[in-house]
Amino acid sequence: MNIIVCAKQVVDVSEMKIDPNTKKPILDGVPQKISDIDKNAMEEALKIKEKHGGKITVLTVGPSDAKERVKELLAMGADEGVIVTPPEKHDYYVVTSLLAEAIKKIGNYDIVLCGEASIDLFSGQVGPRLAGLLNIPQITYAQKIDAEKDKVIADRDMGDKAVTVESSYPVVITVTKEINEPRLPSLMQILAAANKPINEWNGDSLASGLTSIVDTVELKGVSMERKNIVFKDDIDESVKQLVESLVKEGLLR
């Protein structure tokens, strides 16, 4: 079974700050990481490989410095990494087109795994968009995957419904955070990952002249000011003070 895991390097949104003067979010210098749910996608790929054998390729569209992050997934157990560097102006159209071209170049694949959504942009667009572009079936929000030899059965978490579906290969599957607990690589695995291949492909060489359709014209920071009054002594006293505060706020009547 050949599996491609699409993983994205993102800024750690919990570490972001807003510039008090410009009111814009500060993106420079924020720590980068692999988008959380992409690790669940990776874990699921490993489970499928453990059952059927095959090869796992990690694919990311992003800057060269994503290499360090891709190594984390190689340490978890992926066989190979591919980094496609996009043109400066890129949107979902550009990123997904590059993913599709890279997937065609990788060639033989049965399953493309994505996260249900990325932690920074949170669209859930790439998985189904890619399936549309490749014109293959898609299974989104998978909370359980049962990969058999020539078909896959998955349970989808649709909120008010649980939907069980079946598809042949190739197929794009997006996974939820709840599907599994991503493994932590051992020190040995981390060291061994250094020897696994990471290929870097230039986006332009995969598909030349791609340019974005949707342009970000402005990024407005949203800050949240709160009173941050914390009562931490005796519980009875804290409760009393909280109730008094709520009365003052006009919230109790």
Partner 1 sequence: MVLVYSDDKKLMLELLNKAGELAKNLGKKVNAVVIGKNDNLAQEYLTYGADNVIVVETDLKDFKVEEYTEYLEKTIKETGAETILIGSNKNGKELASRLAGKLNAGCVIDVNNVYVKDKKLVTERIVYSGNAIAVEQFNSKPEIVTIPPKVFEPHPGGANPKGEVVKKKFNVEKYASKILKIQEMQTGDVNVEDAEIIVSCGRGFKNKDDIKLAEELADVLKGKTIGCSRPIAADLKWLSEDHWIGLSGHKVKPKLYIAAGISGQIQHIAGMRESGIIVAINKDPEALIFKSADYGIVGDLYEVLPKLTAAVKEKTQ
Among 37, 56, 94, 99, binds ligand FAD (CB under 6 A): 37
Neighbouring-strand partners of residue 138: 172
Handedness of CA 155, 69, 218, 85 (dihedral sign): negative
Among 52, 177, 183, 196, binds ligand FAD (CB under 6 A): 177
Helix H, strand E, coil C: the string for 24-52 is CEECCCCCEEECHHHHHHHHHHHHHHHHH
Structure tokens belonging to residue 30: 């924020």
Q: Which is nearer to ligand AMP, 1 or 37 (CB)?
A: 37
Helix (H, G, I), strand (E, B) or coil at 20: coil
222-251 positions binding ligand FAD, by CB under 6 A: none
83-112 positions binding partner 1, by CB under 8 A: 91-93, 96-97
* One-letter amino acid of 120: D
Measured at the CA of 76, the angle between CA 170 and CA 125, to 5 degrees, comes to 45
Q: Is 216 in the site for partner 1 (CB under 8 A)?
A: yes
Among 82, 84, 102, 171, binds partner 1 (CB under 8 A): 171
Are 19 and 221 a contacting pair, CB within 8 Å? yes
106-165 positions binding ligand AMP, by CB under 6 A: 114-115, 117-118, 121-127
Stretch that binds ligand AMP, among 43-51, 53-61, 102-110, 149-157 (CB under 6 A): 53-61
Q: Is 72 in the site for ligand AMP (CB under 6 A)?
A: no
Handedness of CA 123, 128, 134, 139 (dihedral sign): positive
Among 48, 119, 179, 210, binds ligand FAD (CB under 6 A): 119
Q: Is 70 in the site for ligand AMP (CB under 6 A)?
A: no
Q: Is 101 in the site for ligand AMP (CB under 6 A)?
A: no
Count how many residues are written for the chain. 253
Q: Which is nearer to partner 1, 32 or 125 (CB)?
A: 125
What is the residue-wise DSSP string for 105-137? Answer: HH---SEEEEESS-TTT----HHHHHHHHHT--
Q: Write the binding mask 116 to 135 for partner 1: x where contact by CB under 8 A, - elsewhere.
A: xx-xxxxxxxxxxxxxxxxx
**Footprint of ligand FAD (CB under 6 A):** 36-37, 117, 119, 177
**Footprint of ligand AMP (CB under 6 A):** 6-8, 35, 37-38, 41, 59-62, 95, 99, 114-115, 117-118, 121-127
